[in-house]
A and B are shown apart, each in its own frame.
Chain A
């Protein structure tokens, strides 16, 4: 089983819609969780960290469910500029600072 798994998509949604992604992780001892955005042929950019209490940044909301070992990202009122690949990333455990990425979910916002 992969350490971090995502639905690769693609997700094609109309502008203004709400879209949600999930990402599962296999190591229950995982400590840190992130969502990154990657545009074509570019490096990943940090979108937000994911906390147990959930966190929100404008139109973006991230949640962590430790019991079921998944993290989620919700994008409300989607914009054309949200089109990108969204990668979840996990730091497996204390003392191991490697950032392990999921395969990424391709999102295209349709006008």
Chain B
């Protein structure tokens, strides 16, 4: 089945540094990538949607200059948390959709998530 590989799974960084999270679709072309954030005991909140080769569309309240999204190829999307602060500590998950819906079960394939801790 369709697989999205997300790295790193865990990262601890110092306040003020930047962290890059990668999501790769291993056996299909991810034309659309969704990036979510989940705080403890809360639901997944959509941060942004990116289509390959286009600028990402950010949800209301999400700072596009702080959360940089690049979706330069059909198999790779990255989220960079710039100048991270402790309040950015969260679980970040990507979800990929294929142009060919048949390539992913019901259309959405999730990465395994990245747990970011900013100290």
Contact = CB atoms under 8 A, between A and B. Distances in A.
A102 B46 contact: no
A40 B106 CA distance: 23
A104 B43 contact: yes
A103 B43 contact: yes
B106 A99 contact: no
Contact of B97 (A42, A44, A46, A97): A97
A101 B44 contact: yes
Interface string A59-100: 000000000000000000000000000010000000001111
A102 B43 contact: yes
A51 to B, nearest CB: 11
B76 interface: no
Nearest to B32: A97
Given A46-B105, A46-B108, A99-B34, A87 B44 contact: yes
B29 to A, nearest CB: 15
B60 interface: no
Nearest to B46: A98
Nearest to A6: B43
Contacts of B34: 98-99
B95 A99 contact: yes
Nearest to A4: B43
Interface in A42-61: 42-46, 49
A43 B88 CA distance: 18
Contacts of B105: 46
Contact of B46 (A42, A100, A104): A100
A34 interface: yes
A104 B36 CA distance: 15
Interface stretch (B62-70, B77-85, B110-118): B110-118
Interface of B: 32, 34, 36, 42-46, 49, 91, 93, 95, 97, 105-108, 110-113, 115
